[in-house]
Amino acid sequence: MNKVKKSDADKLLVELQAIDFALVDITLYLDTHPDDEIAFAQHKELAEKRQDIRHQIVVLDGPQNAYEVGDSAKWQWSEGPWPWQI
C-alpha cells in the first residue's frame, strides 16, 4: 500500500473517532430528550457519515473486522494485515 493511501486512511480513522465520540454524546442526550427532532436529525446525519467513512476505510485499508468482508469475492479476512498491524 502506498503512503498516500495510508495517510488518507489514517485521516479517515481520526475523523471516524470524532464522529463516534459525537454519536455517543448525542445518543446520551437523546436518552433524556427523545422528542428533540433537531438532535435526532443530527444523529441520523452522523450515523450516515460514519457509515460512509467506514466504507472508505475498508476500500483503502481492507476490512477492519470480520463483518466488513461481505463485498469481497472470496473470504479474505485471514489474509491480513490484521487491524492492529496497520
Kindly tell me if the per-residue pLDDT of 42 is higher than 50. Answer: yes
pLDDT tens-place string over residues 64-76: 776 766 655 566 6
What's the pLDDT score for residue 8?
A: 85
Closest CA to 54 of 76, 23, 78: 23
pLDDT tens-place string over residues 11-36: 999 999 999 999 999 999 999 999 99
What's the pLDDT score for residue 9?
A: 82
Query: How far is Cα 41 from Cα 62, in angstroms, rounded to an integer?
Result: 30
Q: What is the pTM of this model?
A: 0.71
User: How many C-beta atoms surround the C-beta of residue 57 within 10 A?
Assistant: 21
